[in-house]
């Protein structure tokens, strides 16, 4: 067991401490606008291997490299095509990860043996400050135990990884709340591998044709190769089993109220009073950005209530709703009941 130091993003000396730990090969949980990341020096294979050990992450699931200046992108990839420059000018800094063929400096631990690398320029000021102060690109997957809901507060990170990592930098709750959008430009046409705060509609407006990888909405077919290795694992799951109900509000309320044994509801604002089970609300039905921000914390809170089954309504798939749908359907292991 290590002593995990709790640092504050509002103290400049704590930013310097985080940067020093990272330069020395250590692991620090850092806030970003998407979710908290578990950061290490992206150019140090040994430091990155420690990320996999702390999270229990499968070795074939590559890491995203975080930068604080677009110029760093040119050192991490073989070539920067025009599409990457266009996306960077529109959505960086922000919740968008771009995949390109990797440069030789990227260790195998980061790319998990692929010949590509995923790069993101986060907008969170504390993430930018740590990257800048360390002088390094930082590899950082979500700072949770592999398979659990991603962390959106420093307390979530401590809950999962306290005693296993050197420090957590507390920068308050994350504003987007779901992991970044992942788009690959290493194939033609560009392909959306993971939906997030930058939407498919926005990517299509910027690039023209963008293919939605089938694994975003559906389970991977048996024997099929995942374009994004992270997509093949059950993910984001609380301890309770999640079941998605596809139907109207009325049908949802009536189904849950007749299946109350051990049940809890992940519901929209205004549904609480109509449900006869413990509830955690994750925003209003019309506001997917709010649902995104609340989802992972809500899943953790449902576990604290001790329920064994969580019922939620199947979200819409437009805009940021696609990202909410993608995370919930994986949390549910694709279990959907049509009402
Ligand atoms: P995480 O940082 O835990 O949210 O996961 C990062 C996601 O990006 C995972 O789903 C990875 O499989 C995916 N990813 C990272 N690098 C690559 C890459 N080079 N090619 C395809 N997917 C990638
Ligand atoms: Mg993750």
Indicate if the pLDDT at residue 232 is higher than 80.
no
Report the separation in Å between the CA atom of 8 and the middle of ligand 1, taken as the mean of its atom positions.
28
Which sequence spans correspond to the domains of the chain? 5-216, 241-338
Q: Is 241-338 the same fold as 5-216?
A: no
Report residue 286: phi and psi, to 5°. -85, -5
Question: What average pLDDT does this structure show over 115-136?
Answer: 98
Q: What is the mean pLDDT of the chain?
A: 96
Report the separation in Å between the CA atom of 258 and the middle of ligand 2, taken as the mean of its atom positions.
35
Indicate if the pLDDT at residue 222 is higher than 90.
no
- At 7-56, the pLDDT tens digits run 999 999 999 999 999 999 999 999 999 999 999 999 999 999 999 999 99
pTM above 0.75, yes or no: yes
Residue among 40, 182, 225 to mutate when testing ligand 1 (max atoms within 8 A of CB): 182
The band of 157, judged by pLDDT with boundaries at 50, 70 and 90, is very high
Residue among 57, 63, 77 to mutate when testing ligand 1 (max atoms within 8 A of CB): 63
- At 158-195, the pLDDT tens digits run 999 999 999 999 999 999 999 999 999 999 999 999 99
Report the separation in Å between the CA atom of 140 and the middle of ligand 2, taken as the mean of its atom positions.
9
Residue among 147, 181, 229 to mutate when testing ligand 1 (max atoms within 8 A of CB): 229
- At 61-108, the pLDDT tens digits run 999 999 999 999 999 999 999 999 999 999 999 999 999 999 999 999
* Architecture of the domain spanning 5-216: Alpha-Beta Complex (3.90)
Question: What average pLDDT does this structure show over 269-279?
Answer: 98
Q: In what order do the strands lie in the sheet with 96-101?
A: 5-8, 167-170, 28-30, 37-41, 138-139, 64-66, 116-120, 96-101, 181-184, 191-194, 211-212
Residue closest by Cα to atom 9 of ligand 1: 230
* Ligand lying closest to the C-alpha of residue 215: 1
Residue among 30, 65, 77, 118 to mutate when testing ligand 1 (max atoms within 8 A of CB): 118
* Ligand lying closest to the C-alpha of residue 144: 2
pLDDT for position 74: 98
Indicate if the pLDDT at residue 317 is higher than 80.
yes
pLDDT for position 231: 79
* Ligand lying closest to the C-alpha of residue 145: 2
pLDDT for position 111: 98
Domain 241-338 of CATH type 3.50.50.60: no
Residue closest by Cα to atom 1 of ligand 1: 141
pLDDT for position 104: 98
* Ligand lying closest to the C-alpha of residue 230: 1
Report residue 247: phi and psi, to 5°. 175, -175
Query: How much is the CA Rg of the chain, to the nearest whole Å?
Result: 20
Q: List, chain by chain if needed, residues with CB within 6 Å of any ligand 1 atom.
A: 61-62, 64, 99, 111, 114, 116-118, 141-142, 179, 182, 193-194, 228-231
Report the separation in Å between the CA atom of 83 and the middle of ligand 1, taken as the mean of its atom positions.
20
């Amino acid at each position: 067991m290590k002593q995990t130091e709790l640092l504050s993003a509002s103290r400049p000396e704590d930013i310097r401490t985080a940067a020093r730990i990272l330069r020395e090969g250590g692991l620090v949980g850092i806030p970003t606008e998407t979710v908290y990341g578990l950061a290490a020096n992206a150019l140090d294979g040994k430091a990155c291997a420690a990320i996999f050990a702390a999270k229990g992450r499968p070795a074939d699931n590559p890491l995203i490299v975080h930068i604080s200046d677009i110029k760093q992108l040119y050192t991490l990839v073989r070539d920067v095509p025009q599409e990457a420059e266009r996306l960077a000018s529109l959505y960086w800094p922000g919740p968008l990860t771009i995949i390109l063929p990797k440069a030789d400096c990227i260790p195998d631990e980061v790319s998990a043996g692929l010949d590509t690398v995923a790069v993101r320029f986060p907008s969170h000021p504390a993430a930018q400050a740590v990257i800048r102060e360390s002088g390094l690109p930082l590899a950082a997957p979500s700072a949770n135990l592999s398979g659990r809901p991603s962390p959106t507060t420093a307390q979530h990170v401590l809950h999962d990884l306290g005693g296993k990592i050197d420090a957590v930098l507390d920068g308050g709750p994350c504003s987007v709340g779901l992991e970044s959008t992942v788009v690959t430009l290493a194939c033609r046409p560009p392909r959306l591998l993971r939906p997030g705060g930058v939407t498919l509609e926005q990517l299509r407006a910027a690039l023209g044709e963008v293919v939605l990888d089938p694994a975003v909405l559906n389970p991977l077919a048996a024997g099929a190769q995942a374009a994004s290795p992270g997509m093949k694992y059950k993910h984001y799951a609380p301890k309770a089993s999640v079941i998605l109900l596809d139907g109207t509000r009325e049908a949802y309320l009536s189904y849950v109220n007749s299946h109350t044994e051990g049940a809890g509801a992940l519901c929209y604002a205004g549904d609480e009073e109509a449900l006869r089970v413990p509830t955690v609300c994750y925003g209003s039905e019309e506001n997917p950005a709010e649902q995104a921000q609340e989802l992972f914390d809500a899943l953790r809170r449902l576990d604290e209530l001790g329920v064994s089954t969580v019922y939620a309504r199947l979200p819409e798939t437009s805009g940021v709703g696609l990202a909410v749908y993608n995370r919930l359907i994986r949390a549910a292991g694709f279990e959907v009941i049509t009402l």
